[in-house]
């Protein structure tokens, strides 16, 4: 199965939301600042519920916050 | 390194220091050999002190953290409280990391239990078996901390 790469536009959306801070976003969606930092850096894939909360915080569809693309699976070594 | 990672590292280091103190105490010439009851009482006392020390370490850690935020953010109390609350808030990522770290800890404890049985089967004393069990819980705690820090620093993906 090909790998699924999930990217996000949170940094851009924060900028267009009046340079909303990570702290403000974290408070709006009920998460910690560390989690926002990790999601933004692509280190953590949030649950669907948290993803929807983030989209709601910016007032945009979830597809504008998160994007995905597939990459071919790495060849098996066996 | 994130604040939560620092908190875990602080607790883990305190735990390591405490186990080292225990090892230093019990290996003194006047303390060996002793009865099983003496070992049990000694471990209970050290565990009790360890719990108190870990609580104090966490309180001091949070005081230092608050002071650090106050220095970097200025004297705005409400903002400092907001940052502290958001920094230490527990959410789905914490629960996810906690699940993984707890699983690693349980695996170590499980291996330790098998090691205890093997130790007894090989004819070792109950005191040795007790220490193998104690050691496995300690290793499990350290491994659990390492897995948590790895999760916070390297991130997690639903796989």
Q: What is the DSSP string of A11-45?
A: HHHHHHTTS--HHHHHHHHT--HHHHHHHHTTSB-
Those residues of chain A whose CB sits closer than 8 Å to some CB in chain B are: 23, 26-27, 30-35, 37-38, 41-47, 49-50
Q: Are residues B16 and B80 in the same domain?
A: yes
Enter the pTM of the model: 0.80
Per DSSP, B31 falls in state G
Q: Name the band, by pLDDT with cuts 50, 70 and 90, for residue B133.
A: very high
Q: Is residue B12 within 8 Å of B145, Cβ to Cβ?
A: yes
Q: Are residues B81 and B124 in the same domain?
A: no
Q: Name the band, by pLDDT with cuts 50, 70 and 90, for residue A61.
A: very high
Find the mean pLDDT for residues A52-60: 92
What's the pLDDT at A78? 44
In this predicted complex, what is the ipTM? Answer: 0.74
Q: Are residues B123 and B133 in the same domain?
A: yes
The residue out of B39, B74, B89 marking a domain boundary is B89
- Rounded to 10 deg, the angle between the A33-40 and B92-121 helix axes is 100
List CB contacts (< 8 A) between A35 and chain B. Answer: 91-94
Per DSSP, B156 falls in state B
Flag if A32 and B90 touch (Cβ within 8 Å): yes
Q: Name the band, by pLDDT with cuts 50, 70 and 90, for residue A74.
A: low
For residue A33 the two structure tokens come to: 């600042």
Closest C-alpha to B2, from A55, A41, A11? A41
Q: Give the list of residues 6+ apart from residue B145 with CB closer than 8 angstroms, or none.
A: B8, B9, B11, B12, B15, B101
What's the pLDDT at A54? 94
Identify any residues that bridge with A8 across adjacent strands, giving them in sequence order.
A66
Which of B2, B4, B83 has its CB closest to that of A23? B83
Q: Are residues B99 and B67 in the same domain?
A: no
Q: Are residues B3 and B74 in the same domain?
A: yes
Domain count, chain B: 2
Flag if A44 and B156 touch (Cβ within 8 Å): yes
Closest C-alpha to B109, from B142, B148, B149, B152? B142
pLDDT tens for each residue of B34-69:
788 888 888 899 999 989 998 998 899 888 888 888
Flag if B155 and A23 touch (Cβ within 8 Å): no
Flag if A44 and B157 touch (Cβ within 8 Å): yes
Q: Is residue A35 within 8 Å of B93, Cβ to Cβ?
A: yes
The residue out of B31, B66, B89 marking a domain boundary is B89
The residue out of B40, B73, B89 marking a domain boundary is B89
Own/partner pairs, B124-130, CB within 8 angstroms, 24+ separation:
B126/B36, B127/B33, B127/B34, B127/B36, B127/B39, B130/B36, B130/B39, B130/B40, B130/B43
Q: Are residues B49 and B111 in the same domain?
A: no
Find the mean pLDDT for residues B75-96: 81
Domain residues for B126?
Answer: 91-159
Task: Tell whether B83 lies on the interface with A, counting CB pairs under 8 A.
Answer: yes
Task: Tell whether B152 lies on the interface with A, counting CB pairs under 8 A.
Answer: yes
pLDDT tens for each residue of B7-21:
899 989 998 998 999
The enclosing H or E element of A70 equals: strand A66-71
Q: Which of A51-65, B72-86, B91-105 has the lowest mean pLDDT?
A: B72-86
The percent of residues in chain B predicted with pLDDT above 90, rounded, is: 40
Per the prediction, chain B carries an average pLDDT of 87
What's the pLDDT at B82? 82
Buried b (16+ CB within 10 A) or exposed e, B70-85: beeeeeeeeebebbbe
Q: Are residues B82 and B124 in the same domain?
A: no
Flag if B155 and A50 touch (Cβ within 8 Å): no
């Amino acid at each position: 199965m090909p790998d699924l790469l999930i990217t996000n536009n949170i940094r851009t959306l924060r900028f267009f939301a009046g340079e909303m801070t990570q702290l403000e976003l974290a408070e709006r969606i009920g998460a910690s600042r560390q989690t926002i930092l990790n999601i933004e850096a692509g280190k953590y894939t949030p649950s669907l519920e948290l993803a929807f909360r983030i989209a709601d915080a910016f007032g945009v569809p979830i597809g504008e916050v998160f994007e995905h693309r597939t990459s071919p699976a790495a060849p098996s070594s066996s | 390194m994130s604040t939560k990672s620092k908190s875990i590292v602080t607790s883990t280091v305190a735990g390591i220091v405490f186990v080292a103190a225990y090892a230093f105490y019990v290996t003194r010439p006047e303390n060996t050999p002793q009865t099983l009851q003496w070992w049990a009482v000694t471990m209970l006392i050290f565990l009790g002190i360890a719990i108190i020390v870990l609580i104090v370490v966490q309180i001091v850690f949070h005081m230092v953290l608050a002071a650090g935020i106050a220095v970097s953010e200025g004297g705005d109390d409400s903002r400092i409280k907001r940052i502290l609350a958001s920094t230490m808030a527990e959410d789905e990522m914490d629960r996810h990391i906690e699940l993984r770290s707890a699983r690693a800890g349980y695996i170590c404890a499980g291996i330790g239990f098998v090691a205890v049985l093997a130790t007894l089967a090989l004819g070792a004393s109950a005191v040795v078996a007790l220490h193998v069990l104690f050691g496995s819980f300690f290793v499990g705690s350290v491994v659990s901390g390492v897995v948590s820090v790895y999760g916070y620093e390297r991130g997690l993906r639903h796989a």
